Structure 1
Amino acid sequence: MTKFIQFHLLTAYAPANLNRDDTGRPKTAIMGGIERLRVSSQSLKRAWRISEKFGEALSGNIGVRTRRLGRDIYQKLLDKGVTEKSALATAAKIAEQFGKLKNDKGAKGDLVNLDIEQLVHISPDEQQQIDQLLALLAEQGGREPQDDELKLLRAQAGGVDIALFGRMLASAPGFNVEAACQVAHAIGVSAVTIEEDFFTAVDDLNRKEEDAGSAHMGEQGFASALFYSYICISRDLLLKNLNGDEELVKRTLRALAETVVTVSPTGKQNSFATRAYASYVLAEIGEQQPRSLAVAFFNPVRSDNQVAEATQRLEEQYKKFDRAYGVCAERRYVMNVESGEGSLSELLDFICQ
């Protein structure tokens, strides 16, 4: 049976614009017939993946997400003394192993046509294989790679970020990796009203001889919410994606858990200082079928003490599921900042037992 690790978090944010839509306003969703503030799972995962905390904990095991692999290869070959013509041909051959190239005939310059049509996540193992091949080709006069050498690039995608969040390439399905970690969109537990901040900027060198007005005017949306977040990890799949490296699995789980409770989305960070730690974390481990506790908030929280009521609703909801379906987790750990229950270090130890 598959072992699952589930996290349920409550995190409070003061007025902010954590994750914008196409108009620049904070993203929202209708839940229970009421508009709520929302942060997309893509925004959350990117904030965690590129955070300093995650990077330091898993240094050397994190890949890079890019369309510009071909350009990088091209420049490395030039730096090794390979001619421009050979570098272009080799860069194209290697990059197209990871996806279809743009081949934009109207583009200015050859480098654009080295770009892969869609973002591709390159693992550290794959990058190492590429670098070794480039060194060999440069030593041998800049010759083009052979088919059997290109096949060697198809290494196990052992990067922890790929193992957690997966990789999907429609043009190269052989490189697909099923995500071991599923992340729900964070959703506000109460109704939301988006407000507009009107602002001006003053020219520091304007001495008001002619014009005392501002040099720039603008507006941006903002809102505040207590968010419910849900994360589910298949520990077995994570172990498989990391090639059976149990020690790396434990490091990955610790790094991810610490990151999700302490790292915030980066949208409009300089304007709002949107830094927050989770106020409540419920971690569950077991082989039972996973389930979100979002139903606890289909009726919006309207209390003067939203953190306390939302916490109570979460704990009541998992008990309701336990009564109806049987115990839904073998072990649980609670960190409740407001009541003083639990600690981050104990939480990290719990999920790695």
Structure 2
Amino acid sequence: MSQFIQLHLLTSYAPSNLNRDDLGRPKTAKMGGFERLRVSSQSLKRNWRISELFKEAMAGHIGIRTKRFGVEVYEALLAADVKEKSAKEWAVMIAGVFGKGKKDSLEIEQLAHISPAEKADTLALIKLLAAENRVPTEAELKLLKADSTAVDIALFGRMLASSPAYNVEAACQVAHAISVHSVVVEDDYFTAVDDLNDGKIDSGSSHIGESGFAAALFYSYICINKSQLIANLDGNEALANQAIQALTEAAVKISPKGKQNSFASRAYASFVLAEKGSQQPRSLSVAFLKPVDAEDQATTAIEALQLQAENFDKVYGACADERYTINANKGEGSFDELAKFITQ
């Protein structure tokens, strides 16, 4: 059976606007009949994946998501002294391997996730085509997608609509982070003053605006199918463990970037419950169906989370083989030990 690693995080943010909706206000959701603050899983995953922490830990094993791969190929062909007309024709063919091309453009219609190995194979093919001054063969183009062992592709999956055979099933699922209590989004009315305005002619501000914000203690849930991850990485368990550890560190330390300069919304997780085993995974979000309403929200939320895990065990039997927690509020546990726990 598959081996699952589940992470349950509680992270507190002071007033901030971590993840904006179409109106520029913090994203929200109704849960248990009350409005909660929300951070989308897309926002979380992107901020983890592009963080310096994750990039340094997984250097050489991270792909790129882009529509503009054809532009990069075109420029590389020109640099290899391929004539402009041929370079454009070949670049369209190579980019078309990863997605349907746009009319009269080097770009493809949707974002494609391309692994370092696929990029390296493409650059090698460019060198060969330039040396032999010829069009790429169908077999050569097909080989470009033979190796996709990038850890971010293995973790979060890939869909190539034009080539379903090269899709990758995500080994990691990330829930939208949700506040454990009800919230009211407030408005920050602000002005900007012109430094060269001495107030003699115009005493008003040069700009007036408003921005939504709210403070919240978020519950986040991450589920990693380690067996699937190892399979996605062609059986490389050491690389899978490295990826799990890097993702976990990013999840507990990296914050969304929304309005970061205005709110300095950087936070580490205050509490982490890590579980591993072959049992069917489950979120513990039901612990917060009733909003936490207490003076000491963090302690109450931690107790509610642990109680819900215990209650699931009582009803369904052990839902995990092993557990490990760190509690930054009380200074209990160690991240180093957590990292060892999830990879052993």
TM-score by length of 1: 0.96
What letter is aligned with 2:83? T
Structure 2 counterpart of 1:115, from 97, 107, 111: 107
Q: CA deviation at 1:203?
A: 1.6
What CA distance in whole angstroms lies between the structure 1 residues aligned with 2:167 and 2:142? 16
Q: Indicate the residue corresponding to 1:319 in structure 2.
A: 310
How far is 1:209 from its partner?
3.9
Alignment of 1:94-133 (within 5 A): 94-103=94-103, 110=104, 113-133=105-125
Matches within 5 A, 1:77-96: 77-96=77-96
* Residues 151 and 171 (structure 1), Cα distance of their counterparts in 2 relative to 1, 3 Å cut: closer
For residue 6 of structure 2, what is the aligned residue in structure 1? 6
The Cα shift of 1:169 comes to 2.6
CA displacement at 1:207 relative to structure 2? 2.9
* Identical pairs, percent: 60
Unaligned stretches of 5+ residues in structure 1: 104-109
Name 1:211's counterpart in structure 2. 202
Q: What is the aligned counterpart of 2:130 among 116, 130, 138? A: 138
CA distance in 1, matches of 2:26, 2:252: 21
- Do residues 43 (structure 1) and 43 (structure 2) align? yes
Say whether residues 1:287 and 2:278 are aligned partners: yes
CA deviation digits over 1:57-101, x for unaligned, max 9? 000000000000111101111111111101100000000111101
Distance, in Å, in 1 between the alignment partners of 2:334 and 2:277 is: 21
Gaps of at least 5 residues in structure 2 are none
SS at match of 2:267: coil
- State the Cα distance separating 1:138 from its structure 2 match: 1.3
2:59 is the counterpart of 1:59: yes
Letter matched to residue 225 of structure 2: S
Confirm or deny that 1:162 pairs with 2:145. no
**Over the residues paired in the alignment, what is the CA RMSD in angstroms?**
0.9
State which of 334, 338, 343 in structure 2 corresponds to 1:343. 334
Paired residues, number: 344
**Structure 2 residue 24 is matched with structure 1 residue 32:** no
Q: Does 2:226 correspond to 1:256? A: no
- Output one character per residue of 1:262-296: Cα deviation in whole Å (capped at 9) or x when no partner: 11111111111010000000000000000000000
Aligned-partner Cα distance in 1 for 2:190–2:11: 28
Counterpart amino acid of 1:284? E
Structure-2 separation of matches of 1:169 and 1:24: 31
The partner residue of 1:188 within 179, 182, 185 is 179
Q: Alpha-carbon deviation of 1:156?
A: 2.4
1:247 aligned onto 2:238: yes
Contact 1:98–1:175 under 8 Å retained in 2: no
For residues 300 and 64 of structure 1, what CA distance do their matches in structure 2 show?
39
Task: Write the distance in 1 (CA, Å) between the matches of 2:268 and 2:53.
Answer: 14
Q: Which residue of 2 aligns with 1:275?
A: 266
